[in-house]
């Protein structure tokens, strides 16, 4: 565990200075994590502010001090997702990264161009679950919490999203062959 | 994957720290507010009711302004309200027209709009017989004929009445405008002045709620009569005549042996009324109640008539029976099972009552 258990315990007991110290230690991780979801500085800062507020209000409910970081980042990702959802934006991703992740689990090689087009044709909930799972490597349990849906639903989203992606990518290839 | 961000701009440490601190301050504020909330919880509970009432008025006002701004159709129909003028004034009921002209009604003029349907409580008259409510209903779209069912439910000082009877009628003014007149028969439960709550339900489960203080008109004269006659097994006692600018009413009580309301005639008694010059005073049916007391069917009722002029010095009143020629009904038991009731009153015979005269002191 990377944090001093004493400091975490003090924070759980309502010590503001201890809580601030812990968040300052995580500041870089928080910032870049938020940025990877919301894709711009101002939104990342907003997400951090909301996260600090919610975390400080609920830290007394944290039962295992050793999981402080995991707990904090769950709140952060949920806040990022909320921000995006409110703006009807989709979680940004780097195509190449996502491709590598997807390809390692698929037989077919896919070009980045076809992937982004196919992905954009999916429903927002399918897009989000694919990006969170393959690009952000989040466990299904966490995705379920962030999207406020049961685990089973997320599994269904992923299964259907993959199927739909495959169909879209194949169609996209065929179309391009014809035009060439 | 976060590499692309790390290598681009430098880490904005100050801004991130400031975001963290602002977030914590926000939490502190919310927490202290929460504490105050807990302390004030008891007081809030008491006050909440009042706030809700104010709140709903404010919201409705905003909606009205908002929707009339956005919808040209509603705006133009709202601007037509003055054309309708008074609901009572335009009705063909002499008592209401007179009451309106003489300023005996309370002008309310409150409008509430829900989903493009605005209901304006126009005026209210509270006399010895009825609480009569006139309202104007305007809608953006055309509404079905029975959209508002049988009119408004009412409360007396916030309490639901133990019983209520009355009538409701609508007059279609245009495809999207109708006026309605609702009468609530006055019962003993109603004080001379009280807060009348009115609840109107629409076909799409909208609910309009109005609340207004009302006062019974003061210029009501009561003339005790105590005229009794017994004809064909029916004891009829006319107890009093009340006169006001808005109407005349005759109160009576009848009693007859029997246990079957369907076969009784006491509940079917009406009155004809003529002045000293032979002019008939138009009658309106009024409400009444019947009860079974020691194997006798006892009815108490009040019949309503148009108002009479100051030139009237004497009234000749003739009771008669207006027996139903057809009918039947539906009985609904506690399990909601309906049973058709056959009409059995066909064998009843009319009762010939004697006329009596009442002097009107001036």
Identify the CATH number of the domain in which residue A127 sits.
1.10.10.10
Answer yes or no: are the C-beta atoms of A113 and A76 closer than 8 Å. Answer: no
Judgement on whether residues A24 and A67 belong to the same structural domain of the protein: yes
Check which CATH number belongs to the domain holding B160 and give it.
2.60.40.1630
Instruction: List A residues 12-31 in contact with B (Cβ-Cβ < 8 A).
Output: 16, 19-20, 23-24, 27-28, 30-31
Residues 6+ apart with CB under 8 A from B229: B235, B236, B353, B354, B356
Give B270's strand partners: B320
Answer yes or no: are the C-beta atoms of A108 and A167 closer than 8 Å. Answer: no
pLDDT at A23 over 90: yes
Residues of B in contact with A55 (CB under 8 A): 23
Residues of B in contact with A20 (CB under 8 A): 20-21, 24
pLDDT at A164 over 60: yes
Reported confidence tier of residue A180, pLDDT bands at 50, 70, 90: very low
Q: Would you call A94 an interface residue with chain B, using a CB distance cutoff of 8 Å?
A: yes
pLDDT at B148: 84
Shortest Cα distance from B39 to chain A (angstroms)? 19
Judgement on whether residues A75 and A122 belong to the same structural domain of the protein: no
Helix axes A41-58, A27-38, angle to 10 degrees: 120
B215, B241, B256 - which closes a domain: B215
pLDDT at A176: 61
Nearest to A23 by CA among B51, A43, A13, A54: A54
Judgement on whether residues A122 and A163 belong to the same structural domain of the protein: yes
A86, A108, A130 - which closes a domain: A86
> Would you tell me how many other CB atoms lie within 10 Å of the CB of residue A176?
13
Nearest to B24 by CA among A13, A58, A5: A58
SS3 B36: helix
Place of tokens 């685990």: A151
Task: Please state the domain count of chain A.
Answer: 2
Region A140-156: mean pLDDT is 84
Q: Which residues of chain B have pLDDT under 50?
A: 1-7, 36-72, 74-84
Residues of A in contact with B27 (CB under 8 A): 52-54, 56-57
Answer yes or no: are the C-beta atoms of A91 and A131 closer than 8 Å. Answer: yes
Cross-chain Cβ contact A24/B19 below 8 Å: no
User: Distance between CA B121 and CA B118 in Å, rounded?
Assistant: 10
Nearest to A37 by CA among A137, A157, A166, A150: A137
Judgement on whether residues B201 and B229 belong to the same structural domain of the protein: no
pLDDT at B76: 47
Instruction: List A residues 56-85 in contact with B (Cβ-Cβ < 8 A).
Output: 56-57
Write the pLDDT tens digit of every residue in A95-130.
666 666 665 555 455 555 567 777 777 887 888 888
User: Distance between CA A47 and CA A38 in Å, rounded?
Assistant: 9
Judgement on whether residues B291 and B255 belong to the same structural domain of the protein: yes
Altogether, the residues listed in chain A come to a count of 180
Cross-chain Cβ contact A45/B2 below 8 Å: no
Domain that holds residue A69: 5-86
pLDDT at B47: 35
Residues of B in contact with A19 (CB under 8 A): 24
Judgement on whether residues A100 and A175 belong to the same structural domain of the protein: yes
Please indicate whether residue A70 or residue B77 has the higher confidence score (pLDDT). Answer: A70
User: Distance between CA B335 and CA B185 in Å, rounded?
Assistant: 29
Of the residues A14, A41, A53, the best mutation for testing chain B's interface (the one with the most B CB atoms within 10 Å of its CB) is: A53
In the DSSP assignment, the letter for residue B151 is -
Reported confidence tier of residue A52, pLDDT bands at 50, 70, 90: very high
Instruction: List A residues 145-164 in contact with B (Cβ-Cβ < 8 A).
Output: none
pLDDT at B49: 36
User: Distance between CA B349 and CA B249 in Å, rounded?
Assistant: 26
Write the pLDDT tens digit of every residue in B242-263.
888 878 888 888 888 887 776 7
Place of tokens 């995705």: A143
Reported confidence tier of residue A56, pLDDT bands at 50, 70, 90: very high
C-alpha distances in Å from residue B56, one per residue of A14, A169, B188: 40, 54, 31
Cross-chain Cβ contact B1/A136 below 8 Å: yes
In a domain, B36, yes or no: no
Nearest beta carbon to residue A36 from set B5, B21, B23: B5
Quickly list H helices, chain A.
5-12, 16-25, 27-38, 41-58, 68-86, 95-103, 112-120, 124-130, 140-147, 151-179
Domain that holds residue B200: 73-215
A65, A86, A107 - which closes a domain: A86
Check which CATH number belongs to the domain holding B273 and give it.
2.60.40.1640
Reported confidence tier of residue A92, pLDDT bands at 50, 70, 90: low
Judgement on whether residues B100 and B189 belong to the same structural domain of the protein: yes
Q: Would you call A35 an interface residue with chain B, using a CB distance cutoff of 8 Å?
A: yes
Phi-psi region of A111 (alpha: psi -120 to 50; beta: other; left: phi over 0): beta
Judgement on whether residues B107 and B229 belong to the same structural domain of the protein: no
C-alpha distances in Å from residue B283, one per residue of A6, B42, B308: 90, 55, 12
A86, A118, A141 - which closes a domain: A86
pLDDT at B21: 92
Nearest beta carbon to residue B19 from set A28, A52, A136: A52
Percentage of residues of chain A with pLDDT beyond 70? 79
Judgement on whether residues B233 and B192 belong to the same structural domain of the protein: no
User: Distance between CA B278 and CA B203 in Å, rounded?
Assistant: 47
Task: Please state the domain count of chain B.
Answer: 2
> Would you tell me how many other CB atoms lie within 10 Å of the CB of residue B165?
13
Kindly give the pairing relationship between strand B117-126 and strand B130-139.
Answer: antiparallel
Residues of B in contact with A97 (CB under 8 A): 1
Q: Give me B105's structure tokens.
A: 């009604």
In a domain, B324, yes or no: yes
Place of tokens 């089973």: A152
Shortest Cα distance from B16 to chain A (angstroms)? 6
Residues of A in contact with B12 (CB under 8 A): 31, 41, 45
pLDDT at A1: 55
Q: Which helix (H) or strand (E) holds B35?
A: helix B13-70
Judgement on whether residues A81 and A145 belong to the same structural domain of the protein: no
Write the pLDDT tens digit of every residue in B264-303.
777 788 889 999 988 888 887 666 667 777 788 888 888 8
What's the whole-model pTM score?
A: 0.43
In a domain, B42, yes or no: no
Residues of B in contact with A24 (CB under 8 A): 17, 20
Shortest Cα distance from B30 to chain A (angstroms)? 8
**Positive or negative: CA dihedral A77, A78, A79, A82:** positive
User: Distance between CA B127 and CA B247 in Å, rounded?
Assistant: 8
Residues of A in contact with B21 (CB under 8 A): 20, 52
Reported confidence tier of residue A173, pLDDT bands at 50, 70, 90: low
In a domain, B30, yes or no: no
C-alpha distances in Å from residue A180, one per residue of A103, A177, B293: 25, 5, 99
Answer yes or no: are the C-beta atoms of B89 and B101 closer than 8 Å. Answer: yes
Q: Give me B174's structure tokens.
A: 């245009």
Judgement on whether residues A81 and A11 belong to the same structural domain of the protein: yes
Give B172's strand partners: B178
């Amino acid at each position: 565990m990377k944090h001093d258990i004493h400091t975490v315990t003090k924070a759980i007991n309502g010590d503001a200075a201890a809580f601030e110290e812990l968040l300052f230690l995580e500041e870089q991780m928080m910032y870049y994590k938020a940025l990877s979801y919301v894709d711009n500085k101002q939104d990342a800062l907003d997400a951090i502010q909301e996260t600090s507020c919610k975390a400080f209000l609920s830290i007394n409910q944290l039962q295992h001090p050793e999981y402080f970081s995991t707990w904090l980042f769950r709140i952060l990702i949920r806040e990022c997702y909320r921000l995006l959802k409110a703006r009807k934006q989709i979680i940004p991703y780097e195509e190449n990264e996502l491709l590598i992740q997807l390809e390692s689990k698929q037989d077919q090689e896919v070009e980045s161009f076809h992937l982004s087009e196919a992905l954009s044709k999916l429903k927002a909930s399918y897009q989000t679950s694919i990006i969170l799972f393959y690009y952000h490597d989040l466990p299904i349990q966490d995705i379920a919490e962030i999207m406020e849906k049961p685990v089973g639903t997320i599994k269904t989203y992923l299964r259907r999203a993959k199927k739909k992606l495959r169909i879209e990518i194949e169609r996209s290839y065929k179309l391009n062959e014809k035009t060439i | 994957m976060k590499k692309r961000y790390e290598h681009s701009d430098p880490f904005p440490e100050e801004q991130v720290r400031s975001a963290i601190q602002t977030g914590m301050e926000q939490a502190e504020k919310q927490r202290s507010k929460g504490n105050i909330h807990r302390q004030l919880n008891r007081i809030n509970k008491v006050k909440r009711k009042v706030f809700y009432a104010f709140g709903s008025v404010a919201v409705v006002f905003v909606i009205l302004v908002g929707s009339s701004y956005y919808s040209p159709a509603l705006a133009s129909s709202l601007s037509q309200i003055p054309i309708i003028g008074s609901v009572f004034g335009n009705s063909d009921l002499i008592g209401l027209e007179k009451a309106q002209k003489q300023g005996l009604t309370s002008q309310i003029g409150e409008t509430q709009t829900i989903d493009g349907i605005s209901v304006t409580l126009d005026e209210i008259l509270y006399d010895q017989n009825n609480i009569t409510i006139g309202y104007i209903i305007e809608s953006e779209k055309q509404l079905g004929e029975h959209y508002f069912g049988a009119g408004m439910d009412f409360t007396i000082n916030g309490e639901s009445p133990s019983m209520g009877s009355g009538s409701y009628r609508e007059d279609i003014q245009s495809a999207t405008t109708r006026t309605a007149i609702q009468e609530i028969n006055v019962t003993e439960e109603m004080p001379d002045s009280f807060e009348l709550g009115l609840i109107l339900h629409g076909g799409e489960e909208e609910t309009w709620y109005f609340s207004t203080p009302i006062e019974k008109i003061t210029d009501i004269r009561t003339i005790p009569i105590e005229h009794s006659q017994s004809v064909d097994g029916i004891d009829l006692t006319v107890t009093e005549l009340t006169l006001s600018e808005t109407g005349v009413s005759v109160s009576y009580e009848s009693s007859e042996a029997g246990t079957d309301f369907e076969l009784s005639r006491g509940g079917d008694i009406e009155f004809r009324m003529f002045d000293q010059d032979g002019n008939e005073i138009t009658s309106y049916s009024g409400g009444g109640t019947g009860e079974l007391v020691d194997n006798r069917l006892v009815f108490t009722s009040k019949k309503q008539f148009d108002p009479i002029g100051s030139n009237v010095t004497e009234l000749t009143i003739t009771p008669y029976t207006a027996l139903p020629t057809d009918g039947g009904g539906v009985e609904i038991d506690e399990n909601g099972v309906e049973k058709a009731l056959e009409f059995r009153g066909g064998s009843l015979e009319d009762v010939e009552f004697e006329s009596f005269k009442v002097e009107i002191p001036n």
